[in-house]
A and B are shown apart, each in its own frame.
Chain A
């Protein structure tokens, strides 16, 4: 690799002006990229969509070879691994029974408390067609995009826990910002104690915790799950376990983004919380002990066409309300009334 053997002499001054222009253009590009990142993102997403078949074609043998390399080490510990998995399986069966019991109990408590049920969560499965680990970016590319309903912000999980979230979606591909990435910030909850914090990636395998909102410090071994703050990521997705690192704590992630082949993209639509409808007792006139005025008759509405259109008009007819005494005790839940509540809810 001789540098000097093919040396070519050029007047340095010739390159000074173009170099200055290019340097200015590069600075402008940085500023434009900061101000209008969507331009660059759209171009990037289009390019990934365009190269998706090639990516799938290229990644297949690499994935096979990578899995083969991973498997080489496992050959020597197959017996020990089998024994360990049998023990773990037995332990997990016990936990499964306990979890099912607790789940049933939780549902009964939610019914008793008339708690807002958890929103339904849909998920789509996508295949990883690319991974990239650059100094300032940890990402993976999935073979699902807007055509499959994938949108930026959605959480990406594998069988063990959360991997990251979508930050760019093209028509048929999407990019995942991994939890380890420098730009990753997600609200998490640390258990036990329900300590709220922000987990921040710093391009190391173990993200850090920021903004710990508690006076009780967490300790190594505590579980980290998503808190659901902000309504973008569902609460309760396993994230990792706290481990001691130097003088602080870091999060050892449960999911292994480097090994995940198929992931699930969680479509979480948190419905806006509605205030409860006011009861007659809440009306100021009733609370003051005055008899409320009967509601005004509904305005004359033209007869709608079709049987389907008649139903709302029928149900919208107001009924006279009989005020109940403010001191009337609420009806206490009776034992064995759960079945009735079930049908009502």
Chain B
């Protein structure tokens, strides 16, 4: 019956995997444990699935999913409310708008593409925080955050690619 209505359980599971990946990324980013002490900030794992599926299958990463991921990032991160939510939405908007340019990238270009998205998110967060507290925060920590996130995107993108090919595609059945 549900198949005839155009809905299947497998398809729904497949469609929710990108969102779940992003939620897991946010949780991993915000586990308050660091092997490197407090010298290196945790990578922004939550933004990686957003960027990846915004290019690959934007229908699986809708704006409302990005909003919820951002809210969770703000909730777990401990910072000011809404800062990363708005930053993720801003990055999503830019990537979605320039999707044709970003989607054509491969290899190092894809990493730089994520770097651009991360730069948009970081810059947005920086300026929102500056307005929020009416005080210019130092630039170095957010630059380190961007750099660490870009470096970690390399292995994460490979993992996301595998997840997309092995899980999302077969479950959706339209890959």
Contacts and interface: CB of A to CB of B under 8 A. Distances in A.
Nearest to A70: B37
Given A30-B82, A257-B38, A23 B138 contact: no
Contacts of A125: none
Contact of A23 (B34, B89, B109): B89
A130 B33 contact: yes
Nearest to B65: A22
7 contacts: A2-B161, A3-B102, A8-B56, A8-B57, A12-B99, A29-B71, A62-B34
A47 B72 CA distance: 11
A84 interface: no
A224 to B, nearest CB: 20
A29 B105 contact: no
A67 to B, nearest CB: 11
Contacts of A202: 137-138
Contact of B70 (A1, A10, A26): A26
Contacts of B135: 182
Interface in A155-180: 175
Contacts of B22: none
A120 to B, nearest CB: 32
Interface in A1-50: 1-8, 10, 12, 15, 18-19, 21-23, 25-27, 29-34, 37, 40, 43-44, 47
Interface of A: 1-8, 10, 12, 15, 18-19, 21-23, 25-27, 29-34, 37, 40, 43-44, 47, 55, 58-59, 62-63, 65-66, 69, 129-141, 175, 182-183, 202-204, 257-259
A117 to B, nearest CB: 38
Nearest to B61: A15
A66 B92 CA distance: 36
A133 B66 CA distance: 23
Interface string B60-83: 001110110011001111111111
B96 A19 contact: yes
A29 B82 contact: yes
A261 B122 CA distance: 31
Contacts of B132: 30, 34
Contacts of A1: 106-107, 110-111, 153-154, 157-158, 161
- The B interface, classified by DSSP as helix, strand, loop or mixed, is helix
Nearest first, the 5 A-B pairs at minimum CB distance are A33-B81, A130-B32, A30-B82, A29-B82, A1-B157
A266 to B, nearest CB: 22
Contact of A133 (B38, B70, B104): B38
B93 interface: yes
B133 A15 contact: no
Nearest to A69: B35
B75 A5 contact: no
A134 B78 contact: yes
A23 B59 CA distance: 18
A137 B110 contact: no
A2 B140 CA distance: 30
Given A29-B86, A203-B138, A138 B38 contact: yes
Contacts of A25: 67
Given A6-B57, A30-B128, A140-B32, A22 B66 contact: yes
Contacts of A30: 80-83, 85-86, 128, 132
B78 A58 contact: no
A4 B103 contact: yes
B125 interface: yes
A259 B38 CA distance: 10
A130 B37 CA distance: 11
Contacts of A203: 137-138, 141
B113 interface: yes
